[in-house]
Amino acid sequence: MQILRVVLLISAGFVLAGCGADGEPIQPTMSANVGVGSSGTFVGGGVGLRRGGLGVYLGL
């Protein structure tokens, strides 16, 4: 449950950065995937921002 709160706070930071709260807007990137393996199914995803040579990506 604690990890979920941290992920939500970081995601909120990405949203604020993406909307241009501190300068020009940055288009965020998002990804989602679903897989099936020998141990069952899994779901994953992530969100990221890229500005110039700096990129930040948070995956789950």
pLDDT at residue 36, as a whole number: 92
Q: What is the pLDDT of residues 1-59, one digit of tens each?
A: 677 778 777 777 777 666 655 566 677 788 888 999 888 998 888 888 887 778 888 78
Put residue 36 in one of left, alpha, beta given phi > 0 → left and psi -120 to 50 → alpha. Answer: beta
Coil, helix or strand at residue 8: helix
Whether this model's pTM surpasses 0.95? no
The closest alpha carbon to 7, from 50, 46, 41, belongs to: 46
